[in-house]
Amino acid sequence: MTTETKNPKSIIESLLFVAEKPISSKEIADATGVMVGEIQRHLKEIEEDFRERGIRLIRKGEYFSFVTAPENAKEVSLLLNEELRHDLSTAALETLAIIAYKQPLTRSEIEEIRGVNSDSIVRNLLIRGLIAEVGRKETVGKPIMYGTTMEFVQFFGLDKEENLPKLSELSLFEENTESQ
């Protein structure tokens, strides 16, 4: 691929815009011939460039995606005619928190923590796309391991999952969180 007048950053933006699902810098490299290291540098810049815009670059693990700015959710949901308010039960949020902070983990590991059967809750979170199968555990029966998804990052309006507060920090603020 000759890049005489090519602008790799612009190309990466086009690819992110047009991709049907989150893409990795490896996939961008395959489509452009640009080195992964350079792509990562551009991705960082793109993230910066779009920080104040209506389109944002978000990341989950190795994967990147353009999404709408979370603070515009109300207007966007109005245009799309979609319900914004979540209907996750306390039990579902609890399970989601366990998965977010302990991923990857199996269903029986979730149940070990919650002390109750969590079959239908896990199923519900899977259907909603907030969690997904991320592998198999190398133990008897090779049980499925679960982790959070890009939808999870979007659902919480984050740039990246790492921006969730640490579990240890959360337990310090007893009352504060309630008043939010």
Partner 1 sequence: MYSVRDEQFEGPLDLLLSLIEKEKLDITQISLAKITGAYLEKIGEMTGESSEIADFLLIAAKLLYIKSKELIPGVETAEEEEEIADLEERLREYQAYKKAALHFDGMLSTLNRSFTKRGKPEVVTTFSPPKDLDSAGLFAIFSEVMNKAAEEIPEQTEIKTEKKVTLEERRTEILTHIKNSKKTSFRSILASSRTKSDVIVTFLAILEMIKQREIKVEQDANFADFTVSGLR
Cα(134)–Cα(152) distance, integer angstroms:
14
Pair of tokens at residue 137: 């555990």
User: 154 near 161, Cβ under 8 Å?
Assistant: no
Q: Which does 37 bind (CB under 5 to 8 A by kind): partner 1, a copy of itself, none?
A: none
Q: Does position 31 bind partner 1 by CB under 8 A? A: no
- Long-range contact set of residues 161-170: C-beta below 8 Å, sequence gap at least 24: 161/60, 161/61, 161/100, 164/100, 164/101, 167/101
User: Which span (1-9, 37-45, 136-144, 157-165) binds partner 1, by CB under 8 A?
Assistant: 157-165
Q: Does position 36 bind partner 1 by CB under 8 A? A: no
Among 32, 34, 46, 65, binds partner 1 (CB under 8 A): 65
Among 2, 5, 139, 171, binds partner 1 (CB under 8 A): 171
- Smallest gap from residue 166 Cβ to a copy of itself (A): 28
User: 131 near 99, Cβ under 8 Å?
Assistant: yes
Q: How many helices (H) and strands (E) does the chain have?
A: 9, 6
Binding positions for partner 1, rule: CB under 8 A:
14, 17-21, 56, 58, 65-71, 73-74, 76-77, 80, 84-88, 90-94, 96-98, 100-101, 113-116, 119-120, 123, 126-130, 149, 151-158, 163, 165, 167-171, 173-174, 176-180
